[in-house]
Amino acid sequence: MLALVAGISVLAYLYRAHLPARIAEPLGLRADISDIRARQVPLLTRALHQQGLTFGAPVFLRIFKEESVLELWVENDGTFSLFKTYPICHFSGDLGPKLREGDKQSPEGIYHVTKSALNPNSSFHLSFNLGFPNAYDQSLGRTGSFLMVHGNCVSIGCYAMTDPLIEEIYVLVEFALEHGQDRVPVHAFPFRLTKTRLKEAAQSPWHGFWQDLRPIYQAFEATKKVPTVSVKDEKYHLN
């Protein structure tokens, strides 16, 4: 039996390896993580070097729902430089935070990705867990699970990217964690929290929540250093 299973696995690998990419991808026959690393590492190393950045340096992610973008920043001499802005293929729900399991709402707030959150064998190509509910969400009794950034461009509460883009993002996050970063911060915002845009959103029931997030957004905009954030009295606080 073991020999049969092994034989089938080898045949499946050989079958996938000889399929054109345009056929293999719709069939869900995606490359495994070792293939992805082998392809992405030299490309990303070169692209980072062209911007004076180092592959494996600490990274920081910012998400803006209104623009449907994910920014990836890389640390360079103590501050962060924008490496790339990736279009989000799909997220679900509206502007505003996730409240409960099953509301199909993508989260907003301050999250972190650790090594244990990485899933190279995800059903959605590649994924990493944002860690919802965090301490802030828990203080308000919010519920939900498996809120991810992943591939496959489908979402019921996650931030979904196309498969080629999640490969870049995943490998950059993975190698930053492998090279000493203990956790990758992810700041998920409804929009860029400028004074003007917040004024336009004054009638939203989430205006107060977004006002609490604004000092965190402003601190990074001003210094290009990721601020330290704590949770107290059911609010985010900039330390």
**Catalytic (active-site) positions:** 150, 158
Contact 183, 189 (CB under 8 A): no
Q: Which residue(s) pair with 149 in the sheet?
A: 128, 159
For 78, residues 6+ apart whose C-beta sits below 8 A from its C-beta are: 225
In this structure, what DSSP letter does residue 61 have? Answer: E
For 152, residues 6+ apart whose C-beta sits below 8 A from its C-beta are: 123, 124, 125, 160, 163
Contact 144, 100 (CB under 8 A): yes
Alpha-carbon gap, residue 144 to 142, rounded angstroms: 7
For 203, residues 6+ apart whose C-beta sits below 8 A from its C-beta are: none
Strands 235-238 and 229-232, how do they pair?
Answer: antiparallel
Contact 232, 212 (CB under 8 A): no
Contact 61, 80 (CB under 8 A): no
